[in-house]
Amino acid sequence: MELVKKYVTEIVLILGIVVVFGTTAMFNDAYTERFFDNVTSLILRPASILGIFALGAAVVIIAGGIDLSSGSMIALSASIVCITTLVFCKLLQPDADDPTASVPIWVVGAAIAVTLFVALLIGSLHAWLITVVQLPPFVATLASLVGLRSLAIVMNKAVSKQLGAEAVIVNIQDSNYLLTSAPWWLPLAIFLTLAMLLWVILNFTVMGRHIYAMGGNEAAAKLSGIRTDRLKWFAYCFAALTASIAGILLASSGLSADPQSQGTGGELFAIAAAVIGGCSLSGGVGRVSGVVLGALFLRVVIDAVAKLITSGNSANYEGMIVGLLVVLAVAMNEVTSSTVGWRKQFFPGALGMVALLTIGLIVGAILAFSLTLSEQATNSWRIGLVAGIITSVVLALIKVLAYQLGKTKPAIQVKP
């Protein structure tokens, strides 16, 4: 029973994954027809790449900080790995038309090493900005979020101009580059290895314990003789490194670096996976198992919605899903940890009325829009309207119920 209580997040997530996956499989024929392909290429591979940098985000969050830079770090890393390869190949065969047609393995290794090294430098820069310049983590990494992506674009243009034609997107011709033809399980294996490594660090090393302590109470950690600056250095470097690995994997799957699109919004997906996996944004709380399942759950849900929405670009829906899941996960956490529990009044006063109508409006709108875009586009607006009204009414009932429950508590004394 104690175990159940401790691992409630993981249990809920496993159940969630099974239910969502099962439902999708039932309604979508593609799942059953090409089951293996679906599971590997649409769920496990993207979930692994997301999970890799979600681990980095989770370490920073557990340490009491936040890293907003991972999306841009992914773009920069993908660009660096491709551009270094290009430069090396050009140097080796200055006269070839297609220098990247066949990339030697040591060039690949060198390019990866350069990329990871740059990631460590960026992570160290974050740590310096936070511990020495004393910027809030939010600001320090926000600067990287906007800065690194544009740095990658400029770098690609400049280097490609030097080598011939100016271009933002760097393509590699060798189809074996970066183990692109490697089995589907390579990202998964990297992900699980990193997860194991992090699990050992967080649970069985002095540094791991100190990270939890710092996240829980930084002032007390300092007074206990813990060098919090070094822990932050590690945390931000680990985050940058994992984002960089994800970037290399993305470059390998597309055989190109496109800093304008690769990894956009990655930072928020990573934070979402960590939060859904039970990490507390106030620090000190979170487990590797939760983050792994959180990333998987997020991917399964995104994929399920993509399958159920049969037309249009399913990627357009990802933002809504992530937003919804994060709000639900944090609200669940709030309810289970608060003393009031389910008796909490979610819709008090005027603000509550507005919130209740807004939620109804959003539900109705999402339904109407997605039905219109789908093939069964009949009555979509009417269905949306009805669903929106029903949602508002149900929430209003909850409001009344919570109010009635709350009224049983005696009111505070007033002036006689």
Q: How far is the CB of 131 from another protein (least distance, A)?
A: 12
Report yes or no: 212 and 62 within 8 Å, Cβ to Cβ: yes
How far apart CA 414 and CA 346 sit, in angstroms, is 26
Beta carbons within 10 angstroms of residue 369's beta carbon: 17
Residue closer to another protein (CB basis): 96 or 220: 220
Q: How far is the CB of 2 from another protein (least distance, A)?
A: 9
How far apart CA 116 and CA 241 sit, in angstroms, is 6
CB burial string 168-192: b at 16+ within 10 A, e below:
bbbebebeebbeeeeeeeebbebbe
SS3 318: helix
Residue closer to another protein (CB basis): 74 or 202: 202
User: Encoding tokens for residue 1?
Assistant: 């029973």
Q: How far is the CB of 288 from another protein (least distance, A)?
A: 16
Q: Is 204 in the site for another protein (CB under 8 A)?
A: yes
Q: How far is the CB of 98 from another protein (least distance, A)?
A: 48
Q: Is 337 in the site for another protein (CB under 8 A)?
A: no
Return the residue of 4, 132, 223, 350 that touches another protein, per CB under 8 A. 223
- # binding residues, another protein (CB under 8 A): 27
Q: How far is the CB of 190 from another protein (least distance, A)?
A: 23
- Residue 214: name the closest of 200, 228, 225 by CA: 228
How far apart CA 44 and CA 184 sit, in angstroms, is 8
Return the residue of 3, 165, 219, 315 that touches another protein, per CB under 8 A. 219
What single DSSP character describes residue 257? E
Q: Is 322 in the site for another protein (CB under 8 A)?
A: no
Q: Is 222 in the site for another protein (CB under 8 A)?
A: yes
Q: Is 416 in the site for another protein (CB under 8 A)?
A: yes
Residue closer to another protein (CB basis): 86 or 231: 231
User: In this chain, which stretch among 76-84, 178-186, 208-216, 364-372 interacts with another protein, using CB under 8 A?
Assistant: 208-216
Return the residue of 216, 254, 348, 352 that touches another protein, per CB under 8 A. 216
Return the residue of 200, 340, 354, 393 that touches another protein, per CB under 8 A. 200
User: In this chain, which stretch among 14-22, 67-75, 222-230, 315-323 interacts with another protein, using CB under 8 A?
Assistant: 222-230
User: Encoding tokens for residue 143?
Assistant: 């600067």
User: In this chain, which stretch among 220-228, 260-268, 293-301, 349-357 interacts with another protein, using CB under 8 A?
Assistant: 220-228
Report yes or no: 35 and 252 within 8 Å, Cβ to Cβ: no
Give the DSSP letter string of 9-36. Answer: HHHHHHHHHHHHHHHHHHH-HHHHHTHH
How far apart CA 387 and CA 393 sit, in angstroms, is 10
Q: Which residues 262-301 are close enough to bind another protein by CB under 8 A?
A: 284-285
Strand ranges inside 321-368, DSSP E: none
Residue length, the chain? Answer: 416
Report yes or no: 247 and 178 within 8 Å, Cβ to Cβ: no
Residue closer to another protein (CB basis): 214 or 257: 214
Beta carbons within 10 angstroms of residue 33's beta carbon: 9
Return the residue of 32, 93, 171, 205 that touches another protein, per CB under 8 A. 205
Q: Is 133 in the site for another protein (CB under 8 A)?
A: no
How far apart CA 141 and CA 135 sit, in angstroms, is 9
User: Encoding tokens for residue 252?
Assistant: 């390998």
User: In this chain, which stretch among 18-26, 201-209, 335-343, 380-388 interacts with another protein, using CB under 8 A?
Assistant: 201-209
Q: Is 220 in the site for another protein (CB under 8 A)?
A: yes
Residue closer to another protein (CB basis): 408 or 413: 413
Report yes or no: 137 and 67 within 8 Å, Cβ to Cβ: yes
Q: Is 341 in the site for another protein (CB under 8 A)?
A: no
How far apart CA 277 and CA 294 sit, in angstroms, is 4
Report yes or no: 76 and 148 within 8 Å, Cβ to Cβ: yes
Return the residue of 226, 245, 301, 306 that touches another protein, per CB under 8 A. 226
Q: Is 131 in the site for another protein (CB under 8 A)?
A: no
Q: Is 413 in the site for another protein (CB under 8 A)?
A: yes
The footprint of another protein (CB under 8 A) covers 200, 204-206, 209-210, 212-213, 215-217, 219-227, 284-285, 412-416
